[in-house]
Amino acid sequence: MSEKGTVRIEKYESKILKNNPLNDPHVRELPVYLPPSYQTSEKRFPVVFLLSGFTGWGMMNLNENFISESIPQRCDRLISERKMKEMIIVMPDCITKYGGSQFINSTGTGKYEDHIIKELVPYIDSVFRTIPRSESRAVCGKSSGGYGATVLAMKHPGIFGLMCSTAGDMAFEYCYMPDFPKCLAGLEVYGKGHKAMKHFITHEINKKQPKKKNFFDVLNLAGMASCYSPNPSGFKSKGYNFDVPFNLETGELDQKVFDKWLLYDPVRMIERYKDNLKKLKLIFVDAGIYDEFNLHVGARIFCSRLKDKEIRYYHEEFPDTHMNISYRYDRTFEMISRKIKS
């Protein structure tokens, strides 16, 4: 029989995102996967918030492709194979003009953390038959989505009782810093110093193709800096509202700015949130051993610190890179299914 789930696409009008610093829309599409029995029963279901990676948003999880499954296809299969519990999957849109919000509150992008915690979680509980408790609510994602999952669960264990991060941004000296020189190279085609970044921000972040070499390195930098080292007053002086963690002429690390970034590094956040982390029913961290951003090293460091604090976790590595690894959601959903309360 293998019943199929259904997808409902909500339009959510956010008060919190209204008038956000980048003038990004405050009305967002919110696809929600409902498992097969949702339609045929009156039961309540656990909920998983699935956070998208950098430059992604919820709706993209519905895209079809010849050789990989969309999230609904994946869930239908996993449920029919009994590898996954019937759960509601919520796929938020937290994209920004610069590629992503990292799911945190920032004066550079907006209050995306609040948007999820204060708006989406209660909204989902009010509209769908959820089990509205932390032990039945998980957050997961890969890449920047894994970062978001890690940080949201760390800060809000009363909301998300389970978290899974696949190749999540961690150990910023290994995942971001090595690309600063590439970003510098990418900027230099547009001019010198701040003017180059201003040009990029103003003229290059759009859907025009082809993109110049190193485009993604610059975009990534802008995206992260707008989250980690916002500088609202910078708009006037430099033409953009964040600080760059290196000298825009030589590339020399600006330790003062980079230290601001490090405050958001999950590896460094453990110390502050260790008590919260102990409350989680599931911490699952994995990464590919050929991850181009060294996120397998990040994951190892993260886990070694959890261990130091006697916090329980599951850690896996798989033989792949950072790309095309959505098949790891199989493992994520499986791990959540084992630990989530239904």
The answer to whether 80 contacts its own copies (rule: CB under 8 A) is no
Binding-site string for its own copies from residue 193 to residue 222, where x marks contact by CB under 8 A and - marks none: -------------xxxxxx---x-------
Residue closer to its own copies (CB basis): 208 or 236: 208
Residue closer to its own copies (CB basis): 247 or 276: 247
Per CB under 8 A, contacts with its own copies among 292-321 are: 294, 296-297, 300-301, 303-304, 320
Per CB under 8 A, contacts with its own copies among 222-251 are: 247, 249-251
Helices (H), ranges, the chain: 36-40, 71-80, 112-114, 121-127, 144-155, 172-175, 180-188, 193-199, 215-228, 234-238, 255-262, 266-279, 295-308, 329-339
Name the pairing type of β-strands 88-90 and 47-51.
parallel
The answer to whether 11 contacts its own copies (rule: CB under 8 A) is no
Q: Indicate which single residue of 177, 195, 254, 276 sits in contact with its own copies (rule: CB under 8 A).
A: 177
CA angle 111–204–168, rounded 5-degree value: 45
What is the residue type of 112?
Answer: Y
The answer to whether 9 contacts its own copies (rule: CB under 8 A) is no
Three-class SS state of 134:
helix
- Shortest Å distance, C-beta 175 to its own copies: 10
The answer to whether 185 contacts its own copies (rule: CB under 8 A) is yes
CA angle 300–306–310, rounded 5-degree value: 140
- Shortest Å distance, C-beta 49 to its own copies: 21
Q: Indicate which single residue of 151, 171, 201, 311 sits in contact with its own copies (rule: CB under 8 A).
A: 171
How far apart CA 114 and CA 117 sit, in angstroms, is 5
- Shortest Å distance, C-beta 322 to its own copies: 13
The answer to whether 69 contacts its own copies (rule: CB under 8 A) is yes
